[in-house]
Structure 1
Amino acid sequence: MRRSCARPTARSTPPGADGGARRNGQPIAVSARCQLPGARVAMPGAVYRDAGLREAGVSRADNVASLALRLAKVASGRLDAVLTKPGPHHWDLAAADLIVHEAGGTLGGLDGRTLDYAAPATAHGPTVAGPAALVAALRAHAAEHVG
């Protein structure tokens, strides 16, 4: 039986090694939205209701059960942002965190902290992902409206 393996030449570049996130080989990027009015955000209904986001002009995106898929939609610009309730674990976030960052966005704690994937506790508090300016606006709004 003959076996073969790919042997890239010095001139070849593995997919993704040149930076940036891709979907089906095409570059993707987070949305350019930077303000709350008009933002399409995936989030739990209670967060939408209790944080006054409807009044701020934010629309709640249709439910997608998979957090990883919601974050991939942020990375591709198909959603402006994702807000989560407390509880996502390292395994829910780590790969999508890389994709969101490679697409030009940010993912972190709603409190502004960077997620620590080396921490012994694997669960995180509420998280937010999207373009940096929109994430900052969501954090500021949450600080004013969530006790």
Structure 2
Amino acid sequence: MEKELTALLEGEDYFISKLSNFSAFLNDHLQNINWVGFYIVKDDVLKLGPFQGHVACSNIKRGRGVCGTCLQEEKTIVVPNVHEFKGHIACDANSKSEIVIPIFKDNKMIALLDIDSPIYNRFTNEDKILLENLVKILEKGL
């Protein structure tokens, strides 16, 4: 997957186009997911970016839900059961597990990758490592 993603993003300099193709790429390659996309940090709020899936929240405040917690803590968060995550924002009632990975440019968090699944415990440690490596490919091209 890493070589494919590198080739896909190579030569593209527009951030939104990169995020759009990245989300479509993951939607095509990952099984048992029902939402994959990005939130972009603007004025200390997460703004909805390119995604694949059902409609989603447009604005998420720092510390609110899984994504807002990722913005606050600036680290990857894996949630085996979103119904047990305090303050979880339920955009899609079918989502049961989630992974959120921060994206940095010049040591500043500028966005995050969010992936939801309709099954519990979908995201393993191997998934976390793979997805963090894929995000690093994106970060190198920023």
Structure 1 length-normalised TM: 0.34
Greater percentage in strand = 2
Normalising to structure 2: TM-score of the pair? 0.34
- Asked which structure has the greater RCO (Cα within 8 Å, sep 6+), the reply is 1
- Is the radius of gyration larger for structure 1 or structure 2? 1
